[in-house]
Amino acid sequence: MYRQYYEAIYKFCFRFLNSHDAAMDNSQETFIKLYERMKQQGLEIENTRAWLYKVAGNLCMNSLKSKKRRQEIENLLENQTIENTTPEHILMRDERSTLIRKELSQLKPEQRILILMYQDGLSYTEMAEVTGIKKNSIGKTLWRLIEKISKNIKDEANG
């Protein structure tokens, strides 16, 4: 399970905390909790992937609260690929990334977790399991968050 899920959990933590060291710590702690849970007799995990995201999300929120820092998270819409590397494109991408990070940093931690899980391709069922939001409400909640972010970015870009 570690080999299967570590990279995704690490990236999730990194985008949430915007810190390599904090992401490594939280990812490691997530898998330690999984190991401890698996050692307990009679306690099975129905959906390991969702359980890992839930634990990692809680650990990341605790990290933010305990350190009282509200750092921006990585750009959720942009893959770190090398394409369209003209100076104009890089400047536009950096400006857009800054606006997106600013908007995401203003979301509640629970909302950030939902956006990051959506980006990682978790199902609505898995997102509901992690967040406690009803499965039927996940799509509407995501839509509202994305609309809010988009509107704020457009407003900021237009003046």
* Predicted confidence band of residue 79 (pLDDT cuts 50, 70, 90): very low
* Contact call for residues 85 and 44 (beta carbons, < 8 A): no
User: Alpha-carbon distance 49 to 146, whole Å?
Assistant: 24
Q: Is the pLDDT of residue 80 over 70?
A: no
Average pLDDT over residues 137-155: 84
CATH code of residue 141: 1.20.140
Q: Which of 33, 34, 32, 10 has its CA nearest to residue 23?
A: 10
Read off the pLDDT of residues 24-66 as tens digits, 9 standing for 90 and up.
999 999 999 998 888 886 677 889 999 999 999 999 988 876 5
pLDDT per position as a tens digit, 92-145: 666 677 777 788 888 888 888 888 888 888 888 888 888 888 988 888 888 888
pLDDT score, position 118: 85
Give the range of the structural domain holding residue 89, as residue numbers without chain letter. Answer: 2-157
Q: How many domains does the chain have?
A: 1
